Amino acid sequence: MFTPKSLLKNIPKITPKYVKILDKLGLFTIQDFLFYLPFRYDDFSKTVSLSDEHIDSIMTVCAKVTKVKLNRIFKRRMTIAEIFLEDENQTPLKAIWFNQPFIIESLSVGTIVRLSGKLSREGKYFTLTAPAWEKAAREETNTGRLVPVYPETAGISSKWIRWQMKTFLETAKYLENFVPEDLRKKLHLYNLSSALRQIHFPENSEKLLIAQKTFAFREMFLMQMKSLQVKNIWEAQSAISFDFDEKLVKKFTESLPFELTNAQRKASFEILKNLEKTRPMNRLLNGDVGSGKTIIAALSALNILNKKYQVAILAPTEVLAKQHFESFCKIFENYNFNIALLTSSYKLSPTKITRQKLLENIKTGEINLVIGTHAIIQKDVKFKNLALVVIDEQHRFGVAQRSTLQQETMELKDGEIKTVPHLLTMTATPIPRTLAIAFFGSLDLSILDEMPKNRKLIITKIILPTQRTQIYNFMRSEITADRQVFVILPFVEESKVLTEVKAATEEYKQLSAIFPEYNLGLLHGRLKSKEKEKVMQEFGNKKIQILVSTSVVEVGIDIPNATIILIENAERFGLSQLHQFRGRVGRGVHQSYCFLFTNTDSKNSIERLRALEKSNDGFELSQKDLELRGPGQLLGKAQSGISDIAMENLNNLKLIKIARLEAQNILTHDPNLKNHPLLNKALLQFSQNIHLE
């Protein structure tokens, strides 16, 4: 007797050879195996009699073998098995298989088989090439139905998996259902055992949909449960409340050289209202590149600084921290705030005091606003009364680091005030609403979906290799007009810093030869921060005309005079990321251009890049990215632990909302899940496998 807990290696019909492969796939128990889900289905459910009307369509036919023939083509070391059959109307059919001589033995004359595939016609014969088949006496498994296709690896075929799955499904009835029965019924979902049956061997496409929905819901439900728990823990803390000082805010906004957009107004209102509470804020400011998040951060900090409490602003890189430092010094130049820059490579602050002294000044509260990298909320930095932490370009911090950032913020109760600071995180790139709710459910959301009016549209063009010279000439004419150029060399994997450095260095050399009359700069992850700073400074004051940079240092840099960004191997990137690069230009008054270089032949890739030519709307592009490449792309590193089905359903706002509502419902009545032990268990397991905010 086997149960879901039975080990695959103890099952006689699974030989050691297979055990080894299954191990590699992370499948150890029958339960693991049951949850190895198909990634698509072959629809062989249409069973027909042979006739011309079915030519070119995928169908299943039942037929009797009348003759078999094996042809060997010695020259090409090939065999062709030809099987002649007749359907129930004696209509002749020929099926052929290449290099599967053993088929001759299985399909002896007189055998009745079911065959599935695309029907064609060759003279008097209907023909099938390499169809799926099984004996008609057998239960429909590989033909005559919606047939599951599994992610295959070497040595293991979908056919083999189907065969095993059929028997293992018997054990599914012993699996625990953590979704409460009444809820399951209310939502018209399957229980786990039926859901597994229908997802592996769907009776029809309607039932398959319900099964998929069931699986998606299970995960979304756990995700929401988890983030609500995190939210509850966060909200059980206390924070200092700051009254919305309208006069102060008004004076500040009136002094700005521009009008706030409506979206900016709304977001700052939400934040300032939130800061009035005695519960710590935990809010995500979700906005596109250039939508004006910095000024919102400043507005959030203003009132707090004015009351002599401290604020920390975290940027993902030193270059960005430096830039923020400069912006905030300017933004607050008419206020009496002490602002400091603190990074791990800190030597002397711009005011020429030692790190030691600076840390002391932060501890005594003499410094009001500390701007820096992640280093600033680590152990050796003590604050006097830190009341707000702003994390900029949040997704650049990486998934693992992000969840600890929140934890660390919560532990910052080391000053005079025994409260948790308010927390504002800002995205580097807009996150589609559904994704934000699904993954960042523990956060409140403010959305900047409107760009400042003065923005010029950036002209975006896909550039094929033959047009390279033309673009270089265009670069020359722009530089002659005193403009500047970014050249970005993207690489997908962050770990490959060395390759990236090498590629960037080579590109730098090449371009230096092409543009001997200009000064070029090179930025990459292996440069010391002093060196980076020097390059940035030289780019900033126009000593450098062309800046070659890796993606490591792509974030947030503000050079209004740069009007061209040229991205090599653009097809390797997600739309959102490219859009993010593109946001480096178009920050000044001049018309700007984004050139996407690619040598790909793939129609799909080009089609995908076209979206960038057509749209400047970050939310629209990230939504497209979500549909085309899944959320892993958008959230930085791949989110481990989330199944493909749940991922696919992340577009299903209704389902996510129901999951959230129902999770909330249960937690309200049973906060510690005492009456839901199965759910509690599933949740603990889920939390170990997944990274959420």
**Closer CB to ligand ADP, residue 260 or residue 653?**
260
Question: Dihedral of the CA atoms 451, 453, 456, 462 (nearest 10)?
Answer: 30
Least separation in angstroms between CB 612 and ligand ADP: 17
| Binding partner at 628 among ligand ADP, Mg ion, none, C-beta below 5 to 8 Å by kind | none
Determine the Cα–Cα distance for residues 629 and 616; give it in Å rounded to an integer: 19
Least separation in angstroms between CB 28 and ligand ADP: 46
Footprint (CB under 5 A) of Mg ion, residues 541-560: 556
Decide the pairing of beta strands 282-287 and 422-426. Answer: parallel
**Closer CB to ligand ADP, residue 107 or residue 284?**
284
| Binding partner at 280 among ligand ADP, Mg ion, none, C-beta below 5 to 8 Å by kind | none
**Closer CB to ligand ADP, residue 290 or residue 490?**
290
Least separation in angstroms between CB 335 and ligand ADP: 17
Burial class (CB in 10 A: 0-12, 13-18, 19+), 546: buried
| Binding partner at 445 among Mg ion, ligand ADP, none, C-beta below 5 to 8 Å by kind | none
Are residues 166 and 140 in contact, defined by beta-carbon separation less than 8 angstroms? no
**Closer CB to ligand ADP, residue 31 or residue 294?**
294
Least separation in angstroms between CB 565 and ligand ADP: 15
Binding mask 187-206 for Mg ion (x = CB under 5 A): --------------------
Least separation in angstroms between CB 324 and ligand ADP: 9
Are residues 578 and 551 in contact, defined by beta-carbon separation less than 8 angstroms? no
Element (H, E) at 386: strand 386-391
| Binding partner at 291 among Mg ion, ligand ADP, none, C-beta below 5 to 8 Å by kind | ligand ADP
| Binding partner at 148 among ligand ADP, Mg ion, none, C-beta below 5 to 8 Å by kind | none
| Binding partner at 163 among ligand ADP, Mg ion, none, C-beta below 5 to 8 Å by kind | none
Going by the DSSP 8-state scheme, the letter that residue 639 receives in this structure is -
Q: Is 274 helix (H, G, I), strand (E, B) or coil?
A: helix
**Closer CB to Mg ion, residue 320 or residue 673?**
320
| Binding partner at 258 among ligand ADP, Mg ion, none, C-beta below 5 to 8 Å by kind | ligand ADP
Least separation in angstroms between CB 289 and Mg ion: 7
Are residues 22 and 28 in contact, defined by beta-carbon separation less than 8 angstroms? yes
Q: Is 263 helix (H, G, I), strand (E, B) or coil?
A: helix
Determine the Cα–Cα distance for residues 108 and 172; give it in Å rounded to an integer: 37
| Binding partner at 289 among ligand ADP, Mg ion, none, C-beta below 5 to 8 Å by kind | ligand ADP
Least separation in angstroms between CB 640 and Mg ion: 28
How many residues are given for the chain?
A: 693
Determine the Cα–Cα distance for residues 90 and 93; give it in Å rounded to an integer: 9
Least separation in angstroms between CB 562 and ligand ADP: 13
**Closer CB to ligand ADP, residue 141 or residue 323?**
323
Burial class (CB in 10 A: 0-12, 13-18, 19+), 589: exposed
**Closer CB to ligand ADP, residue 264 or residue 598?**
264
What is the greatest pairwise CA distance in the chain? 96
Going by the DSSP 8-state scheme, the letter that residue 112 receives in this structure is E
| Binding partner at 158 among ligand ADP, Mg ion, none, C-beta below 5 to 8 Å by kind | none
* Distances, alpha carbon 160 to alpha carbons 28, 114, 149, 614, 666, in Å: 17, 18, 11, 46, 41
Least separation in angstroms between CB 115 and ligand ADP: 59
Handedness of CA 232, 234, 235, 237 (dihedral sign): positive
Question: Cβ of 456: how many Cβ atoms within 10 Å?
Answer: 15
Footprint (CB under 5 A) of Mg ion, residues 285-314: none
3-state secondary structure 405-454: HHHHHHCCCCCCCCCCCEEEEECCCCCCHHHHHHHCCCCEEEEECCCCCC
Least separation in angstroms between CB 454 and ligand ADP: 5
**Closer CB to Mg ion, residue 189 or residue 289?**
289
Least separation in angstroms between CB 261 and ligand ADP: 5
Q: Is 397 helix (H, G, I), strand (E, B) or coil?
A: helix
**Closer CB to Mg ion, residue 280 or residue 556?**
556
Burial class (CB in 10 A: 0-12, 13-18, 19+), 56: exposed
Among 214, 274, 199, smallest CA distance to 242 is for 274
The DSSP code sequence of 488-508 is EE--S-TT-HHHHHHHHHHHH
How many binding residues for Mg ion (CB under 5 A)?
1
| Binding partner at 295 among ligand ADP, Mg ion, none, C-beta below 5 to 8 Å by kind | ligand ADP
Binding mask 507-546 for Mg ion (x = CB under 5 A): ----------------------------------------
Least separation in angstroms between CB 130 and ligand ADP: 54
Which residues in this chain contact ligand ADP in the complex, by CB under 6 A?
A: 258-261, 264, 287, 289-295, 452, 454, 587
**Closer CB to Mg ion, residue 327 or residue 643?**
327
* Residue closest to ligand ADP, measured at CB: 292
**Closer CB to Mg ion, residue 297 or residue 682?**
297
Determine the Cα–Cα distance for residues 98 and 406; give it in Å rounded to an integer: 59
Are residues 481 and 545 in contact, defined by beta-carbon separation less than 8 angstroms? no
**Closer CB to Mg ion, residue 424 or residue 520?**
424
Strand residue runs (E) in 152-295: 282-287
Q: Where along the sequence are the contacts to Mg ion (CB under 5 A)?
A: 556
